[in-house]
Amino acid sequence: MSEAHRFGSGPVQAAGPWSRYLFTGAVVVLCLWVLVPIYLLLVNTLSSPEAVATYPKRALPEFDTQSLAFFMNYAGVGQALWNSIKVATVTMILSIGAGAPAGYALSRFDFRGKDTFRVLVLMTRAFPLPLLALPLAVLYIRIGLDDSILGLALVHTTLALPFAVLITFSLFSGIPIELEEAAWTLGCNRFQAFIKVILPLVLPGIAASAIFAFVISWNEVFAAAVLTIEHRTLPAFLLQGLAESPLHLKFAGGAVLVLPALLFIFLVRKYLFSMWGIANR
């Protein structure tokens, strides 16, 4: 509420008390929408199997780490986590490496087929992965990319690329071309102008779209389950069996899957805020 006071003269206040209650209410509902499931997940993760199976549910965890300990000792979890991080990092680098130049080109140049290109970029999301996985796997086995971090990262890059292109396109479009032109008149060539003037301005946004690529890769299961066997990513490794495991292990497994991603988002949150135009605090 202190925030609301500080911005007391903003549009929210001006619209009268009712809309302020409505606004606060909506904020509370949205926060609960996200936090309650995570809270329940954590409570059940930290409860004993017996407590998980009984009703009514406890409101506070008992701090029983039995279920979590199972996953800590589960053969291959650490390796799978490491694989996930590697694949997601490579995906992040590749999708920004290819996506940011494409976004720049889309916003700065006019060329034939520009609109078609923008639609085509989106088309990569139009084909369901289960359909593509078979021919891809056959191809990968033949050319030796099978069961490798790079091979899977290439698939994930394809999935993340449309977002990388479209996000960076709008970032570059938001920066007046006059800034670049001014740099050119002062002796920069196109590349120098980009590095010295444009890049510092869009860097937070690029970081945000990189995070997006990371999350897309982190969450993808089907391609990972078919294209990797010995180098499985965490979701592919755990989700295969989790749906059929006892309830307390489902909760603990869910937490194992969610926590690293939450932690990552928390660490990089200021870049996400900058993508949405909220100032760093």
Contact positions vs another protein (CB under 8 A): 49-50, 53-55, 70-71, 74-75, 86, 89-90, 93-94, 97, 130, 133-134, 137-138, 141-142, 144-151, 153, 195, 222, 225-226, 229-232, 236, 238, 240-247, 249, 253
- Cβ 191 to another protein shortest distance, Å: 9
Tokens of 134: 């078979």
- Cβ 70 to another protein shortest distance, Å: 7
Using only C-alpha atoms, the chain has a radius of gyration, in whole angstroms, of 23
**Cα distance between residue 198 and residue 177, in whole Å:** 9
- Cβ 32 to another protein shortest distance, Å: 24
Q: Which DSSP symbol is given to 189? A: -
Prior bond to 56 cis, omega within 30?
yes
Q: CB-wise, 174 or 241, nearer to another protein?
A: 241
- Cβ 97 to another protein shortest distance, Å: 6
- Cβ 113 to another protein shortest distance, Å: 27
Whether 163 and 213 have beta carbons less than 8 Å apart is answered as yes
Q: Indicate the burial class of 100 (C-beta count within 10 angstroms; 0-12, 13-18, 19 or more).
A: buried
The identity of residue 10, as a single letter, is G
Q: CB-wise, 24 or 54, nearer to another protein?
A: 54
Q: CB-wise, 117 or 222, nearer to another protein?
A: 222
Q: CB-wise, 57 or 114, nearer to another protein?
A: 57
Whether 268 and 207 have beta carbons less than 8 Å apart is answered as yes
- Cβ 38 to another protein shortest distance, Å: 21
Q: CB-wise, 30 or 229, nearer to another protein?
A: 229
Q: CB-wise, 23 or 74, nearer to another protein?
A: 74
Tokens of 150: 């790079």
Please name which of 273, 264, 231 lies closest in space to residue 80, comparing C-alpha atoms.
Answer: 231
Cβ contacts of residue 137 below 8 Å, gap of 6+?
Answer: 146, 226, 227
B/e letters for 174-205, b = 16+ CB within 10 Å, e = fewer, are ebeeeebeebeeeebeeeebbeebbeeebebb
Q: CB-wise, 70 or 264, nearer to another protein?
A: 70
- Cβ 81 to another protein shortest distance, Å: 15
